[in-house]
Amino acid sequence: MLQKRSALLAASLALAAAHFATGAQAQISDGIVKIGVLNDMSGLYSDITGQGSVFAARQAVEDFGAAAKGIKVEIISADHQNKPDVGSSIARQWYDVDKVDVIVDVPTSSVALAISEITREKNKVLLVSGAAASDLTGAKCSPNTIHWTYDTWALGNGTGKAMVKTGGDTWFFLTADYAFGHALERDTAAVVEANGGKVLGKVRHPFPGADFSSFLLQAQASKAKVIGLANAGGDTINSIKQAAEFGIVKGGQQLAGLLVFMSDVHALGLQTAQGLVLTESWYWDANDANRAFAKKFQAQFPGKFPTMVHAGVYSAVTHYLKAVATLKSDADGKAVVARMKATPTDDKLFGKGTVRADGRKVHNMYLFEVKKPQESKYAGDYYKLRATIPAAEAFRSLKDGGCPLVK
């Protein structure tokens, strides 16, 4: 009897070893790691995120070598239309019916905050690249969410501080009237005041907006040295174009684009965008690895350049797949995120970094100035580097965020 039990135990162990040796795929909850890219596919943020983020996710899977590692990956995508109710409905459908394991990108902070709660409820994973509100790693932090590319605190810290230190010590804010705009205004105003500046006023515009003339006239009348644009995408583009029509910059006031993307500068043209100071976490022309990624991107989207959101999707998906491969499971979202936090990040676009306890991905940020037309030597040669903001200084400190996960 003892020999029979020993034989059965040996057989069981051998079977288990064989099962483990087949690789990660055999351990994946339903045999497939399913990634959902959720963003604005058709509206004012579509150039910033859109189909470019789907490309970035696919490129990350390909470069990671998921198939060779025995991990079957499927990518699906949808348009949340920048509406929290639409985004929430898609997220629930994906998690409950379509067996999606991780949602990535999610620009529009109100949508991201809503989906973060759903992701926690369903114990899945949310990797935010497109949304900006620092609340995602503050009071609204979640053990199932990582905020990857940038946030409102980092943007305010970079652009706001630089403008004040160079004489822009009075501000008026033109703010998109939703969670992102409010957070960006709040975080930038705090930096301005902490560095000796003063906020003279603010006005909030509908999201999305079209006619900014009355808001810009209020900003002009304030006599503030700096008009802070706490908006993004098409709203920022239209604000800057209409400010040029009013002669605001020629009149001596400066525009601070608090969230400006490569695609915005491309749409504006250097003649209009020149001199803008902005903060980004990634620039396509910074090094050979970034240029190689941009070349592949442009093969899919001729005449366009990848943004930091696209690069963030690539980086986040890469690190997620590393965690799943290590755990040999995607079933427990909280466990996957814990593994991602415990493992230093390292990929070809962002290099080395970390994910903190509050879910904040930490890396360098960069202060750029948009070149004058005569300074640009080739297509997409838009930025000159004014300062590198070290990772240790680029984001709000862990103790100051108010995240309940931080002890």
pLDDT in tens, 94-110: 999 999 999 999 999 99
Rounded CA gap, 146 and 141, in Å? 9
Residue 38 pLDDT exceeds 70: yes
43 has pLDDT over 50: yes
Same domain, 213 and 254: yes
In a domain, 122, yes or no: yes
Q: Give the tokens for residue 6.
A: 């020993």
Whether residue 164 is found in the same domain as residue 276: yes
Which residue's entry shows tokens 């045999």? 31
Task: Print the domain residue range for 118.
Answer: 26-150+286-359
Q: Report yes or no on 32 lying in a domain.
A: yes
pLDDT at 287: 97
Which contiguous run of DSSP H or E holds residue 185?
helix 179-194
Per-residue model confidence (pLDDT) at position 28: 62
Residue 146 and residue 158 in one domain? no
Instruction: Return the CATH number at 294.
Output: 3.40.50.2300
CA 277 to chain centre: 19
369 and 256 co-located in one domain:
yes
Looking at the structure of the chain, the number of domains it has is: 2
pLDDT over 70 at 16, yes or no: no
Do 118 and 171 lie in one domain? The reply is no
CA distances from 99 to 34, 215, 393 (A): 7, 45, 39
Question: In this prediction, what percent of the chain has a pLDDT beyond 70?
Answer: 93
Answer for the pair 230, 174: CB distance below 8 angstroms, yes or no: yes
> Per residue in 282-338, pLDDT tens?
999 999 999 999 999 999 999 999 999 999 999 999 999 999 999 999 999 999 999
The answer on 332 and 351 residing in a single domain is yes
Residue 199 CA to residue 207 CA, distance in Å, equals 22
Q: What is the pLDDT of residues 150-205, one digit of tens each?
A: 999 999 999 999 889 889 999 999 999 988 999 999 999 999 999 999 999 999 99
297 within some domain: yes
164 and 140, same structural domain?
no
Check whether residue 50 and residue 157 sit in a common domain: no
Residues 234 and 300 in one domain: no
- Three-class DSSP category at 230: strand
pLDDT at 125 over 70: yes
Q: What is the pTM of this model?
A: 0.89
395 within some domain: no
Q: For the segment 65-74, what is each residue's pLDDT rounded down to a tens digit? A: 999 999 999 9
Mean pLDDT of the chain: 91
142 assigned to some structural domain:
yes
Mapped onto helix, strand or coil, the DSSP state of residue 112 is: helix
Same domain flag for 315 and 382: no
pLDDT in tens, 196-229: 999 999 999 988 777 899 999 999 999 999 999 9
Residues 177 and 104 in one domain: no
